[in-house]
Structure 1
Amino acid sequence: MLSTLTAALAMAGAVSALPAARDTTTGVQFVGTNIAGFDFGCSITGQDNLTQATPPLSALGGPDGAGQMQHFVKDDGMNIFRLPVGWQYLLNNNLGGKLDATNAGKYDQLVQACLATGAYCIIDIHNYARWNGQIIGQGGPTNDQFANVWSQLATKYAAQEKIVFGIMNEPHDVPDIDKWADSVQAAVTAIRAVAAKQMILLPGNDWTSAQQMPTKSGPALLKVKNPDGSFDGLIIDVHKYLDSDNSGTHTECVTDNISTAFSPLATWLRANKRQALNTETGGGNTASCQKYLCSQIDFLNKNSDVFLGYVGWSAGAFSPTTYELSEVPTKNGNAWTDSSLVKACIARKSS
């Protein structure tokens, strides 16, 4: 007999693009964190200072992101990592050009380290729907230029079934949501030309807000489809922080977002036979964030027919002592110690 999750996926036509279904009594399918660093230097205007990129790989002079991921999988039961990177970094500032052999090669080392853990790995272009201040398809890069970089990435990783294509991080202040949906469609069409089954994450406006999705971006994104007319593997991408202004910049949390965001979103997803993945959430390593994030995650786990999982922000190249929302584990000898928030709320098993 089909589980609730499998039945929901069957209605959405997405079973073939996802791993074996998890019974809703055991929670969401995916649990993980971001492994940041290749996105450093990319601002909310879509400008990218390539010299600030900090590869989270000890082999490239950075922190041991590979070791972090191995620990998270082995000790915490995580099974998905989001790997943010600047668009300009991948192309070495050549809009419309080929993936830069050096820079894209360095990023690929992180991707391969992720895949080696057995986890799912989200390729996330972290440019806020922009290139140097100009919005994709609305005065900035053309949809063809955007589709081109995704065609190249999809071609590179088409054989890797555990690659997830995260089309764009946190579009914001996009004036025409229907034109943005056209840009997303161009990327989906380009990806599906070479990668038929992997999940693709569809980002909305308003910083990919889970709260705004049902009424603002969602109706437009529902029109995005695969070339065959199906919606297989097309997952709604959402973010939600828990601090006073929803910016993810404060160490204290004030809400679990259930009544204002995730409950209405769950209703909308069920009504439209779709699913979502929360690819950014988190807070400070404080008692208030433990309280509210654990509550938010509990709700997602209890509604895993429509929520595939959650990905914390952030580990990787951040400083575990100075970054407000650090999920970076610390290492002593061969032992890793998680941040208090990861230990309390995000980890699926005790480390």
Structure 2
Amino acid sequence: MHRVLFSLVAVATVVTALPAKSETRATGVQLVGVNIAGFDFGCSIQGACDLTKAVPPMSNAGGADGVGQMQHFFKDDGMNIFRLPVGWQYLVNGKLGGTLDSGNFGRYNQLVQACLSTGAYCMLDVHNYARWNGQIIGQGGPTNAQFTNLWTQLASKYGSNDKVIFGLMNEPHDVPDIDKWAATVQEAVTAIRGVAKTNMIALPGNDWTSAQAMPTKSGPALLKVKNPDGTADGLIIDVHKYLDSDNSGTHTECVTDNISNAFQPLATWLKANNRKAILSETGGGNTDSCKKYMCQQLDFLNQNSDVFLGYVGWSAGSFSPQTYELSEVPTKNGNSWADSALVKACFVKKN
């Protein structure tokens, strides 16, 4: 999320990994879910991660019961996707270009496996804003090879399971050269496809992955990113959008449904280019204004499910439901769970 205020043409040889109709929701978009945050805690918008501040969303690691949350969301609410943010530094224990750390990655993998065990899709999310300690990937910071090395390792671990989605990078911002960034994304896609042929890959643009900016700023460059065979099968445009006054996702009140200025133009652009997008972050407070505007926003995405694959709320996991403005953390009462007001109003599957 924006922490500005507080630190498809198919070919015979490639099968797209889009969800089969038989395993998706009855109406509207195919994928609906929630972020399960915690492994990303301590990561700033400059891509610097204090590993001592990570709070794995697992009871056995000192965090919230993210496993129970996912089981509840899947079983009781009909959700079928969870995005799992994690800091790049956490995965490799601070060693740029290094191998996945057995201890840290082992803990993250526990969350991934718990997610998969629900039957849901699970999006890996490297939560570094296109940076490592303030330096931009492929533009003065980590090399493209170092970035693709990370994704080759992750794809090698999970590429045999089509329910794992590779979210290449959370919210790149202030990237000077969008064409160079698209080249970085291309190298990552090519590397992943070397070991994972059909998993969905979420392609992030600049401008905090803004849904509003995508058609005119990052989108044209990202359209050039292709699979090694020249297709775009399984390559999904990744977008974010919040509903508060400055689109930062730091206020409990919402002021817009984002339709006319963001999602209608984006839908038109996606249709024109025969592409799909996923809204992998959106959120608001548990307030009447956010319930009103969030439901309107998600209704629009459901009505345009030919181009919108799904949406994922921000956020559950290790956040405190008492103090976090955008909490989607459910509370456990005995053997049952109670959803936050916003999740209950707008995200829960309606029968």
TMscore range, shorter length: over 0.9
Q: C-alpha deviations, 1:203-262, integer Å up to 9, x for none?
A: 000000000000000000000011111111000000000000000000000000000000
- Deviation of 1:195 after TM superposition, in Å, equals 0.3
RMSD between aligned alpha carbons?
1.6
Q: In the alignment, which residue of structure 1 is the partner of 2:237?
A: 236
Q: Measure the CA separation in 2 of the matches of 1:33 and 1:102.
A: 26
Distance in 1 between residues matched to 2:138 and 2:309, nearest whole Å: 29
Structure 2 partner of 1:35: 36
Contact 2:9-2:233 at 8 Å conserved across structures = no
Q: What are the within-5 Å matches in structure 2 for residues 53-202 of structure 1?
A: 53-202=54-203
1:308 equivalenced with 2:309 (yes/no): yes
Which whole-Å CA distance do the structure 2 matches of 1:72 and 1:43 have between them? 28
Q: What SS does the corresponding residue of 1:212 show, helix, strand or coil?
A: coil
Structure 1 window deviating more from structure 2 (318-327 vs 17-26): it is 17-26
Cα pair distance change 1:331/1:12, threshold 3 Å: farther
Give runs of aligned pairs for residues 8-27 of structure 1, distance below 5 A. Answer: 9=8, 16-21=16-21, 26-27=27-28
| Amino acid aligned to 1:16 | T
Structure 2: 5+ residue stretches without partners: 1-7
CA distance in 1, matches of 2:19, 2:342: 27
Structure 1 residues 15 and 282 mapped into 2: Cα distance closer, same or farther (>3 Å)?
farther
Q: Which runs of 5+ in 1 are unaligned?
A: 1-8
Higher share of residues assigned helix: 1
Q: Distance in 1 between matches of 2:300 and 2:26?
A: 12
1:224 aligns with 2:222: no
1:101 maps to a residue whose letter is S
Give the total of aligned pairs. 342
Question: SS where residue 265 of structure 1 aligns?
Answer: helix
How far apart are the structure 1 equivalents of 2:297 and 2:15?
26
Residue 5 (structure 1) aligns with: none
SS of 2:16 mapped into structure 1 = helix
Q: Please tell me the residue identity of whatever aligns with 1:137.
A: G
- How does the TM-score come out when normalised to structure 2? 0.95
TM-score normalized with structure 1 length? 0.95
Q: Which amino acid aligns with 2:151?
A: W
Once the 2 structures are TM-superposed, how far is the Cα of residue 20 of structure 1 from its aligned partner? 1.2
Distance of 1:320 and 1:304 partners within structure 2: 31
**Identity score, percent:** 75
- Report the alpha carbon displacement of residue 305 of structure 1 after superposing the two structures with TM: 0.1
Answer yes or no: is the 8 Å Cα contact 2:156–2:195 preserved in 1.
yes
Which 4+ runs in 1 deviate beyond 2 A? 9-16, 21-25
